[in-house]
Every structure is written in structure tokens, then in C-alpha cells.
Amino acid sequence: MREYATLTAADIGVLAAYFVLVILVGLIAMCKSNKDTTSGYFLAGRTMWFLPIGASLFVSNIGTEHFIGLAGSGAASGISVGAWEFNALLLLQLLGWVFVPVYIACGTYTMPEYLSLRFGGQRLRVYFALLSLVLYVFTKCSANLFTGALFIQQSLNWDLYVSIVVLVLLTALLTITGGLTAVIYTDTLQAVLMVGGAVYLMVAGFQEVGGFQGLLERYPQAVPLNVSAIVVNSTCHWPDTQAFRMLRDVDDDYMPWLGFLLGQTPGSVWYWCTDQVIVQRALAARSLSHAQGATLLAGFIKILPLFAMVMPGMISRVLYPDEVACTNPDYCMEVCQSKAGCSSIAYPRLVLGLMPDGAKGLMMAVMIAALMSDLDSIFNSASTLFTMDVWRKFRKRASSTELMVVGRLFILVMVGVSIAWVPVIKETNQVFIYIQEVTNYFAPPFAAVFLMAVLVPAVNEKGAFWSLMVALVAGVTRLVLAFVYKGEGYCGEGEREVPAILADFHYMYFALFLTAITAVVALVVSFLTGRPEPKYLYKTTYWTRHDSSPPTDTDHGATPSSQADRKEESVDVTSVTIVSVSGSKDEAVNGAQGRDKKIGFAVDSSVKGKHDDDDDDDDENKQRMKHHLETLASLQQSTAEKAVLAVGLMVILGIGVAMYVFWSLYDFREAPYYPEGATFVLPGDLRNQTQQASTV
């Protein structure tokens, strides 16, 4: 077994220097950002350019659940998990070219708010906000806390929950003080650090195993050498025989190509095109061109995780098979405090084993950067959802100060529930797959509804709502069964009685079923109850994003109440109301003028009268921001911008498709998949090869 060490004094010094730098950047951003307005705090004033947004899109997605989750799944099953990264590469462009233009045109702040603008009413908005918060807690936040604490536990031998508390306090401090501007600027710093550190470790790892060819030869025999690490007379510890194939046969238990492309994609559409954490960054762009440039940049960076996270996990299994590939529940409990297996420690083991003093501290900083960037994104976006789409439903006249305080207090509640869920995730061998599976029980229906909202004008509110209710019943049923029957259990426990809906219905195909049934119910109910009123289609679909004038009373109603009732904030929160969907017609800005005001600011006359002595500079700032938002909503792009972006789009789409084809169809000549001394029939052209395994 190879040696590895915990962090030294030099490593801790590097780590401390990193924290000082990050907090300094956050404080500077806090001082410069206009965080006393909802636009400044939640959307960075909508003035960000494409480079920091693109970096933030990448870093907000790449947290410790990716470093540890992708590497852990790579160690356990090979490169297949990289398919999610190439899928993201493509769906980011769907966000930039189809969804973001609509979101910007209608002036939405949150995704639940968009549903209210598109369909009217409030039940879709509230349901989506609540479901998003539930998914944040049980997948994103809890998984990040566990994986980040696991790395610290392996590095410093701290208690798991002490590590969690320390990380939460640091991340919450950064998020609470600076809002989205601080988040985006620190994400940019962390993106450089994460990519640089991950690439360094990737190169060191490949050098250690003899390059990619060495990985092909050594991964197939990466089994524990310590007999106490395995369950005797079992094959749990053997590597996956299709480890170097990404998309596999249609009936494969791990990565069926049809299930992934048609079933997993809707869940990914929810994340990349409708999730507040991701979309909020794109909405902070100063123009549509900058938003699209950011999705292109993030797409190019998404090529890296397969090589910088998944394959290093496979390398870690080669170098540390006794720990990373252990299957004996008692032995694994000693190594990583989980009986389900220790593939999740693949990345920390590689860092501690290969990196010199000082560099280990740098990679520790990389991991904490990943954790903090993901958590601060979740905290900021979750507080936005709760305050704007839930709290305002009960406190329609809440002040700006109240909303800011409530949003920050909600973060504390969210963290507490997430910590309580950590023990469940701790017994999951592949954290990344757990996240995807749970997400696919709830997210695909919303992907279907958002796609139809943007692309199918005939869908109305009744169709969207009742289709989601049908899908919710199906999703909850599947989730309950999945937790009652926890797969095959630990190695050596034998097979369990599992219902056919779990054993014979892969979760990716179940996601496809949810998507299809949602679309069918939505279309049928909408057909039976009539098309939505024209006021709900104004600037809220892809086909109407360039509409120049709102519908009139003769078009079956004035501007929808969900839009007309909304009041916008200005640079000075004491003289204007905060962004909300109050639902109160007494506060509405009526008719077509209401939609024009939506792009600018609806000043509360009762408050404005108290501030007639405002400085001229404040008035100029208000007018400047109003003009900026009007220009932004017009979706103006120059011919040169369109041409450059179109070329970038074609290049990134071509790369994404080529990656899928190559890694799924190319026949790598890897070594036989069996441990030394074993005798069993090998598949395909490996059958005639020697069965003498190489020594690890």
C-alpha cells in the first residue's frame, strides 16, 4: 500500500493565506456592490460581463460533490459519469440561446416568478419555489457539506461534523455580507484556483501511472491487495468491465445510452436552464451577448472534468486500491466511516499521496474553494427564492430590510436541515449518482413545463399545474420505494427483494416517463380548458420575446396582474418598493403602462412624497438604471456579436457531440478485467489474451 500523509504546517500556511485572500475579495466586493437593493444584492445590478459570469457558472456547478463525487464514481465505475459533464456543455447553450432571451425580455428575477408571469396565478410559483428549496437541501447543500467535510476529515483528522460547522460559518459569512456581486467575484478567483490545482494533480497522477496507456493497463487489475479489505468469495471489489466506455447498452444497469440521452436530459434541463442557482448568474449579465458568451465560456471549461476529476479518481483506485476499492463493511468503516464503500475518498487520497508539502495545502484550498463557491451559490439563490416567492406571499408589504433579514435567517434554517440529512448521504457509495437519482424523481416534470412554457404558447396554467401534480404523486411514490428498498445493501449481504418498479425500471427511464406524462397531461388539460390569455404570452415565450407592445383590453385583458402588480426597486430602497409579486390590485400599475414600468421602476407615491429632497445624483442613477434595464430587455445585439457568438456556438456543439461519440464508441485496448490469479471467461476480443495480470 502506498504512503500518504496529512497536511503539514506549510500546507496549513498556504490554506490560511488563501482564506485571507478570499475574504478580502469578498469584503471589497461588498463595499463596491449595491447590496442594499434587490437588484444589487440578488442580481449584481445586472451589469456583469461574460468572463466572471462564465467562471461563476462553472464554479457554482463544480463543488466538492464533483471533485469527490465524480472522482468517486470514476474509481467505482470508470468514465461513464463524465457523460453528465458533456450533457451540461450542450445544455448550457440551450440556456443561453433559448431560455435566457425570454427571461431577460420579461424581466424576471426568479424562476418561480417567471412561471407566474407566463401562466398567471401564484400556485405554480409557490410550488416551484418550495420544491427547489427541498432539492437544494436534500441534494445540493447536504451533499456539499458531507463531501467537503470528508476531505477535511481525511486531511486533518477532524471530526466530520466539526468540519461541517467550520465550513458553514465561513461560507455563510461570505454570502451574507456581499450578495451576488461578492459571490461572482470570489467565484472568479476560485475558478482559477480550482482549474489550476485540478490540472496540476491530473498531470501528476498520469505521470505516476504511466499516462493514459498506463491507466488502460492498470485500472482493470485495481483490486485490494489486503484480504481484509474485501468480502471473500465475492466480486464486489472487481473493476467495472466497461470502465472505458461512456454510454453503454440500452439495458445497462449503470449508464444506458437511451435512458441517459432521453431520460437524464430532462433532469439536466431543469438544473441548467431553470434552476435559480445557475440562471441567476446569467441574469446578472449586462446584455444578452454577455449572457451567451458566458454560457459558451462555461461550456468550454466543462470539457475538463472528465480528465481532471473522473480519471484522477480512476488513478487513485490504481494507486490506493485497499482503501478506495474496499468492500468489507467493517474495514471500510475504519477507513472512511461508511459501510457502503470508500470510493468517495479517491480524490482526497490522491491529493495527500502525490502532492508535496505546500501543494497539498493548495489543493486543500481548491477543495474548500469548490465547497464555498457551491454553497454560497446555493445560499444566495435559496434566500432569493424564499424571500421573493414564499415570504412575500405572507408578508406582501414587507420592507426591504425585513426581506434581507428573512433571507439571511432562512440560510441558517436551511443549513440545519442539511446537516441533519448528512448521515443518509454518508452511507451512499457514489454521492454523485445519489444526487442525480433523487433529482430525477422531481425535476423532469418542471423541465417539461418550462420547455412548454417557452416553446408551446397553447399550454395554460391549469394544464401546467395539474400535470405537475400527477408527476409529483409518481415521483414521491418512487422516492419512498427507493429509500425503503436500498438497492443491494452492503457487499456480502446478498440480494434483497426489490419491487419491479425499482429492479426493472431504471431511474433514467423513470425520468423519461415523468417527462412524457407531464407533457401529455399539460397538453390535454390545456386543450380542454382553452388557450391562455394573450396577456400571459407577452414577452414570456421564445416566439414573443421581441413583442414591442403589450396586449390591450380588446385582447381579452390588460397586462396580467402578476406583472402589473409587481413593483420594482430603484437604487435607493427608501424611495421605492422592493421587487415582488404582491397580488394586490390596489398596488397595480394598470394596463400597458404596467408592463413598461416592469422594465423600469414603479415608485411608491406614498413614500416618494416623503423624499422630495433627494439629490439630483440619485435621480440620475435611477434614470440611468431604468434606461439600462430597458435596453437589456430589448435583447439588442450587434451583427458582429451575433456572428462571433454563432461561430462559438457551432464549435462548442460540435465538440460536445464528438466527445460523446468518441468516448462511447472507440474500442480501447485495455488490459483484462480480473484480479491476479483469477480464472474466468473474458468478453469479446479479450478472451484470447493472456490472463496474467500486471502487478500494481
Residue 584 has pLDDT above 50, yes or no: no
The C-alpha torsion from 370 through 324 and 157 to 357, rounded to 10°, is -70
More confident call, 367 vs 683:
367
Task: Give the three cell numbers for residue 238.
Answer: 472487481
Residue 226 has pLDDT above 90, yes or no: no
Residue 215: its pLDDT value, please? 94
Residue 486: its pLDDT value, please? 65
Please write the tens of the pLDDT for every residue from 47-91: 678 888 888 888 777 767 788 889 999 999 999 999 999 999 999
- Confidence (pTM): 0.79
256 beta partners: 248
Residue 25: its pLDDT value, please? 66
pLDDT > 90: what percent of the chain? 33
Of 96-110, 346-360, 576-590, 638-652, minimum mean pLDDT range: 576-590
Q: Average pLDDT, stretch 605-611?
A: 42
CA distance 66 to 139: 12
**pLDDT interval class at 303 (50, 70, 90):** very high
CA distance 142 to 422: 6
**pLDDT interval class at 650 (50, 70, 90):** very high
User: Is the CB of residue 696 less than 8 Å from the CB of residue 225?
Assistant: yes
Task: Give the three cell numbers for residue 577.
Answer: 418598493
CA distance 163 to 180: 25
Residue 258 has pLDDT above 90, yes or no: yes
Long-range contacts from 470-476, C-beta under 8 angstroms, 24+ separation: 470/517, 470/518, 470/521, 471/444, 471/445, 471/514, 471/517, 471/518, 471/521, 472/442, 472/445, 474/513, 474/514, 474/517, 475/441, 475/442, 475/445, 475/514, 476/441
- For residue 582, the SS3 value is coil
Residue 688 has pLDDT above 50, yes or no: no
Of 258-267, 305-314, 406-415, minimum mean pLDDT range: 406-415
567 beta partners: 580
Residue 408 has pLDDT above 90, yes or no: no
Q: Average pLDDT, stretch 165-181?
A: 62
More confident call, 415 vs 310:
310
Of 156-160, 210-214, 258-262, 533-537, minimum mean pLDDT range: 156-160
The C-alpha torsion from 687 through 689 and 693 to 694, rounded to 10°, is -140
Task: Give the three cell numbers for residue 333.
Answer: 468503516
Amino acid at 72: G
More confident call, 487 vs 662:
662
Please write the tens of the pLDDT for every residue from 546-560: 888 777 655 544 444
Residue 208: its pLDDT value, please? 94
Query: In 3-state terms, the chain is what percent helix, strand and coil (to 5)?
Result: 70, 0, 30
**pLDDT interval class at 273 (50, 70, 90):** very high
Length of the chain: 696
Q: Average pLDDT, stretch 509-526?
A: 96
Of 245-254, 389-398, 661-670, minimum mean pLDDT range: 389-398
Residue 680: its pLDDT value, please? 37
Q: Average pLDDT, stretch 430-436?
A: 85
Of 130-139, 235-244, 291-300, 569-578, minimum mean pLDDT range: 569-578
Residue 2: its pLDDT value, please? 52
Residue 574: its pLDDT value, please? 28
Of 179-188, 400-409, 503-512, minimum mean pLDDT range: 179-188
Residues 6+ apart with CB under 8 A from 198: 67, 304, 308, 309, 312, 366
| Range with top average pLDDT, 13-27, 99-113, 492-506, 548-562 | 99-113
Mean pLDDT (the chain, rounded):
77
Residue 618: its pLDDT value, please? 56
CA distance 651 to 630: 32
* Closest among 189, 299, 305 to 651, alpha carbons compared: 299
Q: Tell me the H-state helices in 286-399.
A: 288-301, 304-305, 311-319, 321-324, 329-336, 346-354, 359-385, 392-394
Residue 280 has pLDDT above 50, yes or no: yes
* Closest among 330, 143, 314, 152 to 229, alpha carbons compared: 330
Q: Average pLDDT, stretch 286-315?
A: 93
Residue 426 has pLDDT above 90, yes or no: no
Residue 683 has pLDDT above 60, yes or no: no
